[in-house]
């Protein structure tokens, strides 16, 4: 079993990396993919990133599959 301290450090580093990536994408002008649902009116704004969620899900699934394949050999 991984000691609790190492686990907390690894999770913290992962959160920093993910946060930096999100921040960088926002600074570069990444506002979603074509197919994301956007609605704006005078007093309301709605954004539903359906295509971005699907792409992110595919990337994470492939990454976990690859990690599983490489770690069990």
- Determine the pLDDT at residue 68: 87
For residue 43, what is the DSSP state?
S
Tens-binned pLDDT, residue by residue, of the chain (73 aa): 668 888 899 899 999 998 888 888 777 766 777 888 888 999 999 988 888 889 889 999 998 999 888 887 6
Q: Which residues contact 37 (CB under 8 A, 6 or more apart)?
A: 46, 47, 48, 49, 50
pTM higher than 0.75 = no
Longest CA–CA span in the chain (Å) reads 57
- Determine the pLDDT at residue 21: 85
């Amino acid at each position: 079993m991984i000691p609790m301290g190492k686990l907390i450090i690894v999770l913290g580093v992962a959160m920093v990396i993910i946060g930096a990536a999100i921040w960088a994408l926002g600074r570069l002008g990444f506002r979603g993919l074509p197919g994301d649902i956007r609605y704006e009116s005078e007093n309301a704004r709605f954004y539903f990133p359906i295509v971005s969620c699907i792409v992110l899900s595919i990337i994470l699934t492939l990454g976990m599959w690859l990690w599983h394949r490489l770690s069990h050999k």
